[in-house]
């Protein structure tokens, strides 16, 4: 993609114009109008997002949070999708100044997992109860090149322990060619995830000083190539802390709108990583434009209103407290029990000199599940849509009129029950069974009937029951 084409995705000038008129806080009536518009679940435009991003008044902020909660509950109910990252290699030829994996970082011990080691890591995740994995790697593969990623996906899908297996592999690797994306699609990945890090060209240039990743246009056009190759679930994101968050939020919206208008469907997910300390990186410990906790919550809430049907992912970079607070504001997917050093699950710890960044949440999967359940959310390991081909536009066509709930709710309960029966601690089982019983009570009759049938099958020993 040439620079001219890439410029069609993000229009920095238009964002500048929107933001330069915001030296004073927006009128209360304007904010309330935007909140009322958001309630219709049709999303928000750039002007609306600017209004919310610049509001200051604590009462209006509380209103924004209240609306985000309402929309979240309306669309996602009590469900919270759970996944785990699996880092296969920390080798990288790029120079991203914020990342421990960058090529010139001598403080990092390099490690690339063999297929046997990847199988071992996968088996550990399966034994914990995981069903969804996000495969992550630096941008440098061993001799086999990109085939290494494809082999690793096959290893993940082929592993099984007892009644468990990984049912959906999402992938977060460097941008690929259309042909490579086709191979990724053939390997049956779920979502292809890639973060632009910063949409602001001058900042992008400053923080990416070497390697292929220094090419902004190659990165921003990755989703076009992925979609051309037939991958219809794509996930975008920003690494918050590199540049003014208001700019990033508006640019993220432009990217989402661009995908929607060009391909008929926007991003399946949006991730909101915030810069965390990383070994050998001064920038990671001293973010150029730090995002404070309130603004971070605001980002999540605004996204929930602006793109109500797009999943929002919260990783273990954040503390348990921040994660809990953002569940209510719109987060729909979380990682749990994560390690960011290759081989970290077998090592049993996040070895700092091999990890990509420091974690904020060190709890095990079962501890997170118990916490999530106690908060009233149903942990979901569902992979039903992807396996029934309800992806891309097909998914959105069902999600927007609210039809997807009839599938998501029973699938969340059946996969949660699987977790409880096969992997849950006694405490989690008690909390989980109560949660399931209460959720069933609240369902409409047809969904309740379907759920009860599916739960009965799981209790009778069937696994992987979905609709
Ligand atoms: N290497 C590929 C790339 O850069 O796209 C794929 C995965 S990279 C290992 C995953 C993500 O980690 C990056 O896109 C970046 O947003 C995030 N990351 C890097 N350094 C970080 C840090 N210090 N704190 C938080 N997130 C970080
Ligand atoms: Fe490499 Fe990705 Fe880290 Fe950049 S963010 S140094 S590309 S692993």
Segment 327-383, tens digit of pLDDT: 999 999 999 999 999 999 998 776 777 888 889 999 999 999 999 999 999 999 998
What confidence category does residue 89 fall into, taking pLDDT thresholds of 50, 70 and 90? very high
CA distance 283 to 21: 30
- The stretch 89-111 carries a mean pLDDT of 96
Does residue 133 form part of some domain? Answer: yes
Task: Tell me if 275 sits within 8 A of 321, measured CB to CB.
Answer: no
Integer angstrom CA distances of residue 192 from 170, 231, 348, 397: 6, 7, 27, 20
213 lines ligand 2 (CB under 6 A): yes
- Residue where one domain finishes, among candidates 384, 413, 434: 384
Residue 138 CA, ligand 1 centroid: distance in Å? 8
- Nearest residue (CA) to ligand 1, atom 16: 239
What confidence category does residue 393 fall into, taking pLDDT thresholds of 50, 70 and 90? confident
Confidence (pLDDT) at 388: 81
Domain that holds residue 103: 73-384
* Separation of first and last alpha carbons in the chain: 40
Which atom of ligand 2 approaches the CA of 356 most closely? 3
Q: How many CB atoms lie within 10 A of CB 287?
A: 18
The pLDDT tens digits of the residues spanning 102-111 come to 999 999 999 9
Does residue 208 form part of some domain? Answer: yes
Indicate which ligand has the atom closest to the C-alpha of 214. 2
Does residue 40 form part of some domain? Answer: no
Residue 2 has pLDDT above 60, yes or no: no
Residue in 80, 28, 17, 82 with CA at minimum distance from that of residue 51: 28
Tokens describing residue 371:
């916490």
Residue in 376, 319, 337 with CA at minimum distance from that of residue 72: 376
What confidence category does residue 143 fall into, taking pLDDT thresholds of 50, 70 and 90? confident
Looking up tokens 């929107």, which residue turns up? Answer: 18
Which atom of ligand 2 approaches the CA of 138 most closely? 8
Q: How many CA atoms lie within 13 A of 267 on its CB side?
A: 26
Q: What is the dihedral of CA 300, 305, 309, 311, to 10 degrees?
A: 0
Return all residues near 394 (Cβ < 8 A) that are at least 6 apart. Answer: none
Do both 287 and 159 map to the same domain? yes
Confidence (pLDDT) at 205: 98
Task: Tell me if 148 sits within 8 A of 114, measured CB to CB.
Answer: no
Task: Tell me if 129 sits within 8 A of 372, measured CB to CB.
Answer: no
Does residue 15 form part of some domain? Answer: no
Do both 311 and 425 map to the same domain? no
The pLDDT tens digits of the residues spanning 411-461 come to 999 999 999 999 999 999 999 999 999 999 999 999 999 999 999 999 999
- Nearest residue (CA) to ligand 2, atom 6: 102
What confidence category does residue 4 fall into, taking pLDDT thresholds of 50, 70 and 90? low
Percent of the chain, pLDDT > 90?
86
Indicate which ligand has the atom closest to the C-alpha of 137. 1
Confidence (pLDDT) at 390: 75
Task: Tell me if 207 sits within 8 A of 96, measured CB to CB.
Answer: yes
Q: Longest C-alpha distance within the chain, in Å?
A: 62
Do both 185 and 148 map to the same domain? yes
Exposed/middle/buried for 398, CB within 10 Å: 0-12, 13-18, 19+? Answer: middle
The pLDDT tens digits of the residues spanning 149-189 come to 999 999 999 999 999 999 999 999 999 999 999 999 999 99
- The stretch 253-270 carries a mean pLDDT of 96
Do both 450 and 360 map to the same domain? no
- The stretch 27-49 carries a mean pLDDT of 96
Confidence (pLDDT) at 3: 56
Looking up tokens 């809430």, which residue turns up? Answer: 301
Question: How many domains in the chain?
Answer: 2
Residue 362, domain CATH: 3.20.20.70
Do both 313 and 413 map to the same domain? no
Does residue 189 form part of some domain? Answer: yes
Do both 93 and 196 map to the same domain? yes
Does residue 160 form part of some domain? Answer: yes
- The stretch 78-88 carries a mean pLDDT of 96
Residue 362 CA, ligand 2 centroid: distance in Å? 22
Do both 275 and 146 map to the same domain? yes
Residue 294 CA, ligand 2 centroid: distance in Å? 28
Task: Tell me if 162 sits within 8 A of 422, measured CB to CB.
Answer: yes
Residue 44 has pLDDT above 70, yes or no: yes
What confidence category does residue 6 fall into, taking pLDDT thresholds of 50, 70 and 90? confident
Which atom of ligand 2 approaches the CA of 140 most closely? 1
171 lines ligand 1 (CB under 6 A): no
Residue 114 has pLDDT above 60, yes or no: yes
Return all residues near 319 (Cβ < 8 A) that are at least 6 apart. Answer: 360, 361
Lowest mean pLDDT among 93-97, 261-265, 350-354: 350-354
Confidence (pLDDT) at 51: 96
Residue in 359, 355, 358 with CA at minimum distance from that of residue 90: 355
Indicate which ligand has the atom closest to the C-alpha of 278. 1
User: Rounded mean pLDDT of the chain?
Assistant: 94
Do both 356 and 448 map to the same domain? no
Confidence (pLDDT) at 90: 95
Do both 289 and 372 map to the same domain? yes
What confidence category does residue 403 fall into, taking pLDDT thresholds of 50, 70 and 90? low
99 lines ligand 2 (CB under 6 A): yes
Looking up tokens 């009839």, which residue turns up? Answer: 406
Do both 299 and 447 map to the same domain? no
Do both 331 and 418 map to the same domain? no
Lowest mean pLDDT among 220-224, 328-332, 400-404: 400-404
Do both 380 and 413 map to the same domain? no
pTM over 0.75: yes
Does residue 391 form part of some domain? Answer: no
Q: How many CA atoms lie within 13 A of 286 on its CB side?
A: 3
Does residue 299 form part of some domain? Answer: yes
Task: Tell me if 448 sits within 8 A of 411, measured CB to CB.
Answer: no
Q: HEC profile for the chain?
A: CCHHHHHCCCCHHHHHHHHHCCCCCCCHHHHHHHHHHHHCCCCCCHHHHHHHHHCCCHHHHHHHHHHHHHHHHHHHCCEEEEEEEEEEECCCCCCECCCCCCCCCCCCCCCECCHHHHHHHHHHHHHHCCCEEEEEECCCCCCCCCHHHHHHHHHHHHCEECCEECCEEEEECCCCCHHHHHHHHHCCCCCEECCCECCCHHHHHHHECCCHHHCHHHHHCHHHHHHHCCCCCEEEEECECCCCHHHHHHHHHHHHHHHHHHHCCCCCEEECCECCCECCEHHHHCCCCCCCHHHHHHHHHHHHHHCCCCEEEECCCCCHHHHHHHHCCCCCEEECCCCCCCCHHHHCCCCCCCCCCCCCCCCCHHHHHHHHHHCCCEEECCCHHHHCCCCHHHHHHHHCCCCCHHHHHHHHHHHHHHHHHHCCCHHHHHHHHHHHHHHHHHCCHHHHHHHHHHHHHHHCCCCCCCC
């Amino acid at each position: 993609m040439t620079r001219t084409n890439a410029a069609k995705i993000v229009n920095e000038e238009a964002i500048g114009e929107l933001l330069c008129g915001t030296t004073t806080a927006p009128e209360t009536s304007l904010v309330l109008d935007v909140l009322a518009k958001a309630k219709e679940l049709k999303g928000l435009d750039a002007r609306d997002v600017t209004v919310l991003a610049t509001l200051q008044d604590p009462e209006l902020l509380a209103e924004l949070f209240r609306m985000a909660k309402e929309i979240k509950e309306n669309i996602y109910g009590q469900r919270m999708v759970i996944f785990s990252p699996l880092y296969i290699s920390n080798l990288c030829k790029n120079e991203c100044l914020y990342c421990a994996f960058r090529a010139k970082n001598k403080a990092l011990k390099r490690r690339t997992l063999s297929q046997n080691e990847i199988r071992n890591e996968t088996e550990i995740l399966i034994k914990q109860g995981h069903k969804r994995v996000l495969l992550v790697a630096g941008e440098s593969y061993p001799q086999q090149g990109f085939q290494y990623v494809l082999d690793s996906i096959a290893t993940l899908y082929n592993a099984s322990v007892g009644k468990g297996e990984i049912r959906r592999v999402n992938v977060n690797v460097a941008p690929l060619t259309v042909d490579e994306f086709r191979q990724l699609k053939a390997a049956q990945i779920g979502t292809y995830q890639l973060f632009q890090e910063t949409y602001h060209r001058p900042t992008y240039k400053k923080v990416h000083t070497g390697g292929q990743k220094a090419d902004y246009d190659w990165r921003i056009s990755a989703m076009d190539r992925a979609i051309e190759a037939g991958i219809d679930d794509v996930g975008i994101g920003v690494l918050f802390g590199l540049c003014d968050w208001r700019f990033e939020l508006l640019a993220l919206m432009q990217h989402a709108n661009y995908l929607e208008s060009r391909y008929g469907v926007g991003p399946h997910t949006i991730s909101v990583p915030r810069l965390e300390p990383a070994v050998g990186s001064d920038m990671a410990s001293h973010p150029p434009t730090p995002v404070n906790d309130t603004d971070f919550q605001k980002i999540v809430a605004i996204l929930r209103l602006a793109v109500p049907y797009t999943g929002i992912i919260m990783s273990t970079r954040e503390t348990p407290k921040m994660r809990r607070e953002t569940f209510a504001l719109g987060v729909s997917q979380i990682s749990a029990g994560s390690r960011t050093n290759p081989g970290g699950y077998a090592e049993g710890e996040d070895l700092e000199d091999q990890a990509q960044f420091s974690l904020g949440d060190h709890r095990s999967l079962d501890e997170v599940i118990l916490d999530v359940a106690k908060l009233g959310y149903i942990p979901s390991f569902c992979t039903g849509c992807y396996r029934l081909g309800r992806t891309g536009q097909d998914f959105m066509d069902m999600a927007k009129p609210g039809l997807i709930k009839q599938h998501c709710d029973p699938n969340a309960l059946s996969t949660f029950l699987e977790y409880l029966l096969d992997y849950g601690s006694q405490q989690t089982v008690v909390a989980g069974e109560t949660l399931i019983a209460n959720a069933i009570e609240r369902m409409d009759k047809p969904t309740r009937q379907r759920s009860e049938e599916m739960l009965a099958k799981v209790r009778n020993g069937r696994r992987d029951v979905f609709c």
